[in-house]
Chain A
Amino acid sequence: MMNSDRILAVVLFLFSVFMFVMSFSIPPGTLGTGTAGPSFFPQIWAVILAVLSILMFIKSAPEDSEYTHKGLIQSLREYKKVIYMLSASLAYIFLLGILGYIITTLLFLIVTIPVLAAEAKVNKLKILFIAAAITFSTYVIFQHVLNVFLPAGRIF
């Protein structure tokens, strides 16, 4: 059976092979060649990583995995939440340049706070209040106290 450590070991191995192969297309340096050139270290580290990932594959015998013991349903539910958070973060960055800091942050907080507060059972009004408070206080602090440049958005 494949546990998560084994899957990761395979991914790391493939990554190191990819980096090793790609390192041959690095243009040779003007100063220093061979072991003093720009492609020597990427190759050395790729070989080290490949060896380490093979070791990890061997050492992570399937019975060591926590995922074989833990309920699969539980980890699936957890991953669903993580994917949700990941999508929310990516959407935040995407929208930041369009809608600007205030609106995007407010939206982002409204969709993420309920997930973070899952156990605490916070009601909707309170979530809205927390999101608004965080958005406006950070806006004032960043923009007017710390003079940090915030994206203003394109549509306003």
Chain B
Amino acid sequence: MEFLLVGLEETLNITTILIIAGSVFLGIFFGAIPGLTASLGIALLLPFTFGLGPVNGLAALLGMYVGATSGGMISATLIGIPGTGASIVTTFDGYPMAQQGKANRALSLGVFASLVGGVISMILLTFIAPLLARVALMFGPWEYFALGIFGLTIVVSVSSNNMLKGLIAACLGVFITMIGQDPVVATPRFTFGFGQLEGGFSLLPTLLGFFAISRFFMDVSTTDKLAPAITLDNKYKVFPPLGDIKKSIRNLVRSSFIGTWIGILPGAGGSIASFLAYDRARKASKTPEKFGTGHSEGVIASESSNNSVTGGALIPLMTLGIPGDMVTAVILGGLLIHGLQPGPMLFSNNAEIVGSIFIGLLFATILMFIIQSGLMRYFAKIIKVPKHILLPVIIVMSMVGTFSANNRIFDLWVLIIFGFIGYILIKNKFDLAPLILGYILGPIIEKNWRLGLMATNGDYLPFVTRPVSVLLLTVAVLSILYPIYKSKRAAKKSA
């Protein structure tokens, strides 16, 4: 546990704390505005963290992550529209509470539940991650190949409502990485003689193109008529009523454990965690009929679980180098850009970074609580920022951010083209999460397949005889086949 002390040493200074506070603030802003997500916020922030160094740069990304995850509840409660996907469940009880004139209570409960969820998941992260890293040290290319396949299939089967389109999106993501040098011996592929293509499509234009620019094209066709927000009165209390908290200690702890567990599983994110926690809370409640009518337990279950996903999602990222969801895929990019290779070696080579990520996450959670509690009245107003001010800022930030990373105009062309492709895909009801994961996992899968074969002189057997590898591959195959089987059976039943 000495890495925590080192982390504390690295993080406990005015600059780092101010950076975390600032990015948490921005994150709450991103979370609160419907349509702006945590992944977009982190992707936009990424290029501006280059100059900060790894500790401060990662602190900024974590602050954005924590802030955005929690900020989503502001619009969920006040206008009944979730600011991020993770706060959908908060609308079930938060919005009715606000309509009944209890907006203050709903928000203070939500902020408090977010704090508890964040802290519990951070504690679990501190215990689980080093253990898993020790196990992962024994992994060879065979296990990593299986992990990549596992990650990809789980994501496709869970995060997309149309599995076929999810698979196609993942394929397209993999193809983006095929262009340029191959990951093992750097043979140029599909460059068609263009020198610019040899470097491949880098992370920033790809991410920002699919997240930010595609929205720019989407939003020219949508109107932004939001429901009038419920206003907060001036007596916003920082702490929720003690009675409410006392009654829900079990609920808080259970939901936080559910959230952390869901966070660890690849593919499943905040929205699934909060649905599950809400369901469990209703089943365990003495008054299940009150759920959905503005019940405080519902808000607590949703907000503690979706915030505890943050710590859980960092576990596979840091120990295995495999991102569990969209947001951690972007954070993975952040680690790589700062020259850090996530995986079990991170714990032995960069213990100070590991420690500062843990401590940074804790600080971000506490600062999120302080900032939200103190400034709630002002955040309640920003959800009405008009689109024609917001989008131009995002576009300009994407362009400048992309350009500044490599000072290449070529990256800007890529940004716009990918944005347009993203727009076409969204229009045809494709989910872009599998695409980004294909982009991240594709090279991991290919590299380890080839390294594995080279190590055994072309013998395929280790892929299916090494226990961890065979287990992961079996789960991967099942996760694709099970939904098909289930829908076939459902079709038979209805016929």
Which residues of A lie under 8 Å from residue B424 when comparing CB positions?
8
Name the one of A8, A37, A116, A119 contacting B391, with C-beta atoms under 8 angstroms: A116
A35 touches B453 (CB 8 A): yes
Closest to A37 in B: B450
Given A19-B190, A149-B407, verify A45-B164 contact (CB < 8 Å).
no
B404 at interface (Cβ–Cβ under 8 A)?
Answer: yes
- Contact residues of B between 439 and 474, Cβ < 8 Å to A: 442, 445-446, 449-450, 453-454, 458
Given A117-B386, A122-B388, A151-B403, verify A31-B225 contact (CB < 8 Å).
no
A61 at interface (Cβ–Cβ under 8 A)?
Answer: no
Which residues of A lie under 8 Å from residue B220 when comparing CB positions?
78, 81-82, 84-85, 115-116, 118
Q: State in angstroms the CA–CA spacing of A101 and B216 once bound together.
A: 20
B388 touches A130 (CB 8 A): yes
Q: State in angstroms the CA–CA spacing of A4 and B109 once bound together.
A: 46
Q: State in angstroms the CA–CA spacing of A101 and B412 once bound together.
A: 13
Given A53-B168, A92-B399, A116-B219, verify A146-B51 contact (CB < 8 Å).
yes
B427 at interface (Cβ–Cβ under 8 A)?
Answer: yes
Which residues of B lie under 8 Å from residue A59 when comparing CB positions?
164
Closest chain B CB from A118 CB (angstroms): 8
B171 touches A49 (CB 8 A): yes
Closest to B425 in A: A8
A32 touches B184 (CB 8 A): yes
B393 touches A78 (CB 8 A): no
Closest chain B CB from A78 CB (angstroms): 4
Q: State in angstroms the CA–CA spacing of A116 and B393 once bound together.
A: 12
A131 touches B165 (CB 8 A): no
Closest to B416 in A: A89
A56 at interface (Cβ–Cβ under 8 A)?
Answer: yes
Q: State in angstroms the CA–CA spacing of A45 and B427 once bound together.
A: 24
B392 touches A38 (CB 8 A): no
B396 touches A134 (CB 8 A): yes
Name the one of B171, B409, B423 contacting A96, with C-beta atoms under 8 angstroms: B409
B187 touches A29 (CB 8 A): yes
B420 touches A86 (CB 8 A): yes
A138 touches B400 (CB 8 A): yes
A140 at interface (Cβ–Cβ under 8 A)?
Answer: no
Kindly count the residue-residue contacts between A and B in the assembled complex, taking CB atoms under 8 Å apart.
Answer: 162
B413 at interface (Cβ–Cβ under 8 A)?
Answer: yes
The B contact surface, by secondary structure, is: helix
- Contact residues of B between 191 and 239, Cβ < 8 Å to A: 213, 216-217, 219-221, 223-225
Closest chain A CB from B406 CB (angstroms): 11
A93 touches B223 (CB 8 A): no
Name the one of A31, A45, A96, A116 contacting B174, with C-beta atoms under 8 angstroms: A45
A22 at interface (Cβ–Cβ under 8 A)?
Answer: yes
A42 touches B392 (CB 8 A): no
A49 touches B175 (CB 8 A): yes
B446 touches A41 (CB 8 A): yes
Closest to A145 in B: B48
Which residues of B lie under 8 Å from residue A118 when comparing CB positions?
220
Contact residues on A (Cβ < 8 Å of other chain), bracket: 35 or more
Name the one of B175, B388, B399, B413 contacting A113, with C-beta atoms under 8 angstroms: B388
Which residues of B lie under 8 Å from residue A101 when comparing CB positions?
400
B185 touches A120 (CB 8 A): no
Given A38-B184, A93-B409, A119-B224, verify A85-B396 contact (CB < 8 Å).
no
A86 touches B388 (CB 8 A): no
Which residues of B lie under 8 Å from residue A123 when comparing CB positions?
none
Given A8-B424, A52-B164, A78-B220, verify A35-B388 contact (CB < 8 Å).
no
Q: State in angstroms the CA–CA spacing of A155 and B480 once bound together.
A: 57
Closest chain A CB from B464 CB (angstroms): 15
Q: State in angstroms the CA–CA spacing of A49 and B217 once bound together.
A: 26
A2 at interface (Cβ–Cβ under 8 A)?
Answer: no
A148 at interface (Cβ–Cβ under 8 A)?
Answer: yes
A52 touches B389 (CB 8 A): no
Q: State in angstroms the CA–CA spacing of A150 and B427 once bound together.
A: 33
Name the residue in B51, B167, B450 with the highest tally of chain A Cβ atoms < 10 Å from its Cβ: B450
B454 touches A32 (CB 8 A): yes
- Contact residues of B between 301 and 343, Cβ < 8 Å to A: none
Name the one of B189, B190, B400, B423 contacting A82, with C-beta atoms under 8 angstroms: B423
B187 touches A116 (CB 8 A): no
Q: State in angstroms the CA–CA spacing of A121 and B248 once bound together.
A: 48
Q: State in angstroms the CA–CA spacing of A104 and B416 once bound together.
A: 16
A130 touches B389 (CB 8 A): yes
B283 at interface (Cβ–Cβ under 8 A)?
Answer: no
B389 touches A42 (CB 8 A): no
A93 touches B412 (CB 8 A): yes
B100 at interface (Cβ–Cβ under 8 A)?
Answer: no
Closest to A92 in B: B399
Which residues of A lie under 8 Å from residue B164 when comparing CB positions?
52, 55-56, 59
Known A-B contacts: A42-B190, A116-B391, A151-B409. Give 10 more (CB < 8 A): A19-B178, A29-B182, A31-B185, A41-B446, A49-B171, A93-B416, A96-B409, A113-B388, A116-B219, A138-B396
Chain A residues packing against B (C-beta within 8 Å): 4-5, 8, 12, 19, 22-23, 26-27, 29-32, 34-42, 45, 48-49, 52-53, 55-56, 59, 78, 81-82, 84-86, 89-90, 92-93, 96-97, 101, 105, 109, 112-113, 115-120, 122, 130-131, 134-135, 138, 142, 146-151
30 A/B residue pairs, CB under 8 Å, sorted by A: A4-B427, A8-B428, A19-B190, A29-B182, A29-B185, A32-B450, A34-B458, A35-B453, A39-B189, A41-B446, A41-B449, A45-B174, A45-B175, A45-B178, A49-B168, A56-B168, A81-B221, A85-B217, A89-B419, A92-B399, A93-B413, A96-B409, A96-B412, A112-B392, A116-B388, A119-B224, A130-B389, A130-B392, A150-B400, A150-B403
